[in-house]
Structure 1
Amino acid sequence: MDIVLIAGLWLDGSAWDDVLPELETLGHRGIPVTLPGQGDGATSATYDDQVAAVLAAVDGADGSPLVVGHSAACTLAWVAADQRPDAVTGVALIGGFPSTEGEAYADFFEPVDGVMPFPGWEKFEGPDSDDMSDELKESLLARMLPVPVGVTRGVVHWTSERRHGVPLTLICPEFSPAEAQEWIDAGDVPELSAATALELADIDSGHWPMFTQPAALAALIDEASGR
């Protein structure tokens, strides 16, 4: 099966390099997406540009792909369910949740000169990064790409109620499935509260399992593809 892979903020398609061979071993073809403004040099990129890139990857895949989103890009993966409900096998979310209708996509940190740079590892101390070595953090820091404010401050809109029936897997890294279920039950994550085909999966990692647990992550993606 084709697997469309969308990395979160500050990362390009190479974030999946360690996961791709693991997926291939399991019989899948990974399609990593380099999002506009995150690796292509387009500093004027917008949220809508990133949406278009994801939909183009879905449309270009063989058959019905599974769409995988990481962190903030969980919203972009859920866009595929919203706008291509008949074209996708399902969606898997890693360490994040789809934005609520009318929210900004990812306006988390103050921009500098029109872009939102990576704020430094101190913002992600604790469960997010405890499984990462200093060497890995240093290596990733050199790869982090500032994200244009046209992306981060883009407003999210949902268009089709049919998205709620698309098979959805939430992979829980720095938080547990039990914690995620509490947030869902409390209505803190409206898009997941409304999902009718949701499963939760645990992974023993921090926020970036594609770097620290690529084989385990690929195995969970493979399970999601079988739903």
Structure 2
Amino acid sequence: MDILLIAGLWLDGSAWDHVVLGLEAAGHRPVPITLPGQGQGSASATLDDQVAAVLAAVDSASGKPMVVGHSAACTLAWLAADVRPGRIAKVALIGGFPAADGQPYADFFEPEDGLMPFPGWGPFEGPDSADLSEEARRDFASAAIPVPAGVTQGIVRLTDERRFDVPVLVVCPEFTSTQAQEWIAAGDVPELAKAKHLDLVDIDSGHWPMITQPAELARLLAVAALEA
């Protein structure tokens, strides 16, 4: 199966390099997506530009792909399901949840000169980054790509309720599947509360398992693809 991989903020497609190896070994065709404004194209890229890049990958896939979103990009994966509900076999969400219609995409930190830079490790101290070595932290920070405000401040628009028919897997790293279920049941994640086919799985990692647990993440995604 084609597995489309969308990394979260400040990352490009190379974030998936080690996961790609595991997925290929399992017989799948991984396709890391380098997003406009995050390693491709202009710093003036918008959320619509990123959505268009994901949709182009969906349309180019062989058969129905599984679309994988990490962190903020969980919303990009879900937007793809909204626009192409009949073309996607499954959505996998790693360490995040889709924003609801009308919400900003990822307006988490103050932009500087039209870009939202990586804010340093302070906001991510604790479970998010506890499993990252000092070397991994330095490498991440030095390679981090400031994300255009046109992306982070873009407003999410969801229009097709057939997205709720697309099977969803939530991979839970710095939080547990039990916590995620509680948040969904409490109404904190309205999009997933309406999903008709929802599974959750734990992975023993921080927020970036593609860095610290790539083999296990590849295994979980390969299993999910076989079940799609």
Normalised to the residue count of structure 1, the TM-score between the two structures is 0.99
Between the aligned partners of 1:80 and 1:102, the Cα distance in structure 2 is 16
Identity of aligned residues (%): 65
Structure-2 residue corresponding to 1:187: 187
Between the aligned partners of 1:204 and 1:119, the Cα distance in structure 2 is 25
AA partner of residue 86 (structure 1): G
Structure-2 residue corresponding to 1:14: 14
What does the per-residue CA deviation read over 1:158-199, in whole Å, with 9 as the maximum and x for residues that have no partner?
011000110100000000000000000000000011111000
Alignment: residue pair count: 227
Q: How does 1:146-185 map to 2 (within 5 A)?
A: 146-185=146-185
Structure-2 residue corresponding to 1:29: 29
What does the per-residue CA deviation read over 1:48-74, in whole Å, with 9 as the maximum and x for residues that have no partner?
000000000010111110000000000
Between the aligned partners of 1:139 and 1:190, the Cα distance in structure 2 is 35
Q: CA deviation at 1:151?
A: 0.3
Structure-2 residue corresponding to 1:133: 133
Structure-1 residue corresponding to 2:72: 72
Between the aligned partners of 2:44 and 2:140, the Cα distance in structure 1 is 24
Structure-2 residue corresponding to 1:108: 108
Q: CA deviation at 1:130?
A: 0.4
What's the Cα RMSD here? 0.7
Between the aligned partners of 2:41 and 2:139, the Cα distance in structure 1 is 20
Q: CA deviation at 1:223?
A: 1.7
What does the per-residue CA deviation read over 1:97-134, in whole Å, with 9 as the maximum and x for residues that have no partner?
00011000000000000000000011100000000100
Between the aligned partners of 1:86 and 1:62, the Cα distance in structure 2 is 14
Structure-2 residue corresponding to 1:84: 84
AA partner of residue 104 (structure 2): A
Between the aligned partners of 1:29 and 1:195, the Cα distance in structure 2 is 26
Between the aligned partners of 1:172 and 1:208, the Cα distance in structure 2 is 11
Secondary structure class of the residue paired with 2:175: coil
AA partner of residue 86 (structure 2): D
Q: How does 1:207-218 map to 2 (within 5 A)?
A: 207-218=207-218
Q: Which residues of structure 2 form unaligned runs of 5+? A: none
Secondary structure class of the residue paired with 2:18: coil
Q: CA deviation at 1:41?
A: 4.4
